[in-house]
Amino acid sequence: DIQMTQSPSSLSATVGDRVTITCRASQSIGTYLNWYQQKPGRAPKVLIYASSSLQSGVPSRFSGSGSGTQFTLTISSLQPEDFATYYCQQSYDLRTFGQGTKVEI
Amino acid sequence: QVQLVQSGPEVKEPGASVKVSCKASGYTFTNYLMHWVRQAPGQGPEWMGIINPSGGGTKYAQNFQGRLTMTRDTSTSTVYMELNSLRSDDTAMYYCARKDCSGVICYEVYWGQGTLVTVSS
């Protein structure tokens, strides 16, 4: 099974900050990497697919990069509605999610 | 619009079984595979398996082999997830999620609202 490891597990930030979250795969997955945002009591929402493609309707302050085993999600200027938990997900072989990164004030 | 509507919360005793439904609307049911994903309190999502509503074919995560069954009813556009021999650590929110693809990359845009399954004596 492919394991996904995110860092950090949580971070404190302020509105306007640039935030970077890292995800590492246990083996090469090309660009089969997606990022989700989840708020309490809600299902995950896809932000980025194929490592760097922005899902329709998602603000452009979200961006993704990487290939192989190392990936990054960046929020260029954190907004109040961005405080949430973020998960990476590999879709190279079935599905595996990272353990999450909670972005809080 | 695409909608996935799941059945209501369940409370089960250890050793029992639970069957959760996910009714799809707003698209051709047999054209899209459906995942089941669960999330224990305070944990990340865990992929359980996938079903092809067209032919009924399934693939399950190793962790659930022997305990998990996914089925579908094309007449009602509904997929089902049944988990047997429930344990306390099966307490979680269970989601269905439609598999969507852009080229060769696939991901999940549409999710059900979730069904809370609580296992407790």
pLDDT tens readout for residues A55-81: 999 999 999 999 999 999 999 999 999
For A30, the closest chain B residue by CA position comes to: B105
Q: What are the 10-residue block averages of pLDDT along chain B, 121 residues in total?
A: 98 98 97 98 96 96 94 98 97 98 94 98 93
Prior bond of A80 cis (ω within 30°): no
Tell me what pLDDT residue A71 has. Answer: 98
Contact state of A46 with B46 under an 8 Å Cβ cutoff: no
| Residue A91 touches chain B, beta carbons under 8 Å | yes
Interface test with A, best of B43, B48, B107 (most A CBs within 10 A): B107
Out of A1, A55, A91, the one facing B106 most closely (by C-beta) is A91
Quote the CA–CA distance of B28 and B119 in Å, as a whole number: 34
| Residue A37 touches chain B, beta carbons under 8 Å | no
pLDDT digits (tens, 9 = 90+) for A8-57: 999 999 999 999 999 999 999 999 999 999 999 999 999 999 999 999 99
B18 CA: distance to closest CA in chain A (Å)? 21
Residue B54 C-alpha from the chain's centroid: 16
Q: Is A105's pLDDT higher than 90?
A: no
